[in-house]
Structure 1
Amino acid sequence: MNILTDIRDFLFPRLCMACGRKLQVSEQALCCDCLSQLPHTHLGNTPGNEMEKIFWGRFPIQRASALFYYARGGKVAHILAGMKYYGRQKVCRQMGEMLAHELLPTGFFEGVDYLLPVPLHPDRLRTRGYNQSRLLAEGISEQTGIPVCDGLLCRVRNNQTQTHKSVLERQENTVHLFHLAGDTRMLQGKHVMLVDDVLTTGATLGACADVLADIEGISISIVTLAWTK
């Protein structure tokens, strides 16, 4: 055991993101108990699954999946809060790697050309210092080898949080929220996978897909770390 690690853990104890318990040396971000209790969706690469159906009638979707179910106040909610608001950038990538590790054997990523993280508005990006969806995509890329395409999809408005909005308010809040910037010919005829931290009503991801749908021959899939069923 490294003495520097011992000193660091004594002075700055690492705590589980889900329950707050002190982590053992072998544990990363989550304790073993919480890891074993996380609510996996087991959606895998199942065609026509319940998450995929959210987008039926909105745009032609190829695949959709999420790793965990989200519940307010639950363990996954604590993980997402750490990723989003408390600077846990390393955890964002680790969660992406975990997601990819589970879905890769199912063939979920086969034929996907690019990972497209849902962008933050530049003002929010400057304030937060990072985009958790971008880091999540980087973790997925590390396991799958699929390149991350960032910068072509841009957020136009720094819209208010969706947390306490109704389904209709969420949809209205995402109208004209995104636009394409730069040369999008690289996405023509390609299969892209939108990456986000959590799916609720699908309003934000649907708004992204609406903009991408203008690109000739594009195919769109969706993956998120969590899903509010």
Structure 2
Amino acid sequence: MFHDFINLLYPTVCHICEAELLKNEELICTSCLHDLPVTSYHLDNENPVKKVFYGRLKIEKATALLHFRKKAGVQHLIHDLKYRGHREIGTYLGKWLGTELSNSDWNTKIDVIIPVPLHKSRLKERGYNQVEDFGKEIAASLNAEYIDDILLKISSTQTQTLKDRLSRWGKLEETLQIQNSDKIVRKHILLVDDLVTTGATLEACAHKLYEVPDIKISIATMAITD
């Protein structure tokens, strides 16, 4: 048991292929790292992430670090992060994307990082919000403030079908609440999540945030589904 605990804190095998890591490798072996499908969407403001929200939501910028494909490396990473307690993956991906953003024109535009929230029951079950460490690392890279007490999820929702997500973002918005809104007035907010598919959850969160006057919203996620 102690050995498993040490491996959780200091993984010695690749999170994707489970090959033993070399001394200069962190979490992911060099081979798997080179195979990860990086998007570089932060360099193109008219990218597929932003296009998800065309005609639905006003956003300044949008990006995702990786392409999500089933039964591939990115799915393994996000699964380990969300369901196996490997929070270091969120830190790793946050540092990676944060570095990319800090070396681009995103660097001077973001004031506040806000995570898509978890309901307290899900937070208690999992023990952490899977995008917390991701958001904190991006905030550190952009010299922005990470704030997780603005947008709250006040009721739990079940996983919805694709059709539901496209047509029922308003009901998702009803599960959300804003507090401490004075912290973000006239701020440019970066809303972060693990995965964008239909964009329904991010859309609902953004619409709720837009109840606060004079704000701008951008979006960044770990991955986008193809």
Q: TM-score, normalised by structure 2?
A: 0.90
Counterparts of 1:218 and 1:98 in 2: how far apart (Å)?
26
Helix, strand or coil: the match of 1:137? helix
Residue 166 of structure 1 corresponds to 162
Deviation at 1:175, TM superposition (A): 4.2
Deviations 1:14-67 (A, max 9, x none): 221111222223211101100011001121232222210111222211000011
Deviation at 1:141, TM superposition (A): 1.9
The letter for the 1-side match of 2:86 is R
Say whether 1:222 aligns with 2:205: no
**Equivalent residue runs for 1:1-229 within 5 Å:** 14-162=12-160, 165-169=161-165, 171-172=167-168, 174-181=172-179, 183-229=180-226
The letter for the 1-side match of 2:192 is V
The letter for the 2-side match of 1:192 is I
Q: Please say if residues 38 and 65 of structure 2, whose CA atoms lie closer than 8 Å, have aligned partners that are also in contact.
A: yes
Greater mean deviation of Cα atoms: 43-52 or 74-83: 43-52
Helix, strand or coil: the match of 1:80? helix
Aligned CA-pair RMSD: 2.0
Aligned length: 218
Helix, strand or coil: the match of 1:201? coil
Q: Please say if residues 167 and 201 of structure 1, whose CA atoms lie closer than 8 Å, have aligned partners that are also in contact.
A: no
Counterparts of 1:13 and 1:225 in 2: how far apart (Å)?
20
Counterparts of 2:142 and 2:11 in 1: how far apart (Å)?
33
Q: Please say if residues 100 and 143 of structure 1, whose CA atoms lie closer than 8 Å, have aligned partners that are also in contact.
A: yes
Identical aligned pairs, as a percentage?
Answer: 33
The letter for the 1-side match of 2:158 is Q
Counterparts of 1:51 and 1:167 in 2: how far apart (Å)?
19
Q: Please say if residues 188 and 215 of structure 1, whose CA atoms lie closer than 8 Å, have aligned partners that are also in contact.
A: yes
Counterparts of 2:139 and 2:81 in 1: how far apart (Å)?
18
Counterparts of 1:116 and 1:107 in 2: how far apart (Å)?
20
Q: Please say if residues 193 and 223 of structure 1, whose CA atoms lie closer than 8 Å, have aligned partners that are also in contact.
A: yes
Greater mean deviation of Cα atoms: 17-26 or 31-40: 17-26
Counterparts of 2:142 and 2:98 in 1: how far apart (Å)?
7
Q: TM-score, normalised by structure 1?
A: 0.88
Q: Please say if residues 21 and 31 of structure 1, whose CA atoms lie closer than 8 Å, have aligned partners that are also in contact.
A: yes
Deviation at 1:142, TM superposition (A): 2.5
Deviations 1:107-140 (A, max 9, x none): 1242211000111110111111111111110111
The letter for the 2-side match of 1:159 is T
Helix, strand or coil: the match of 2:202? helix
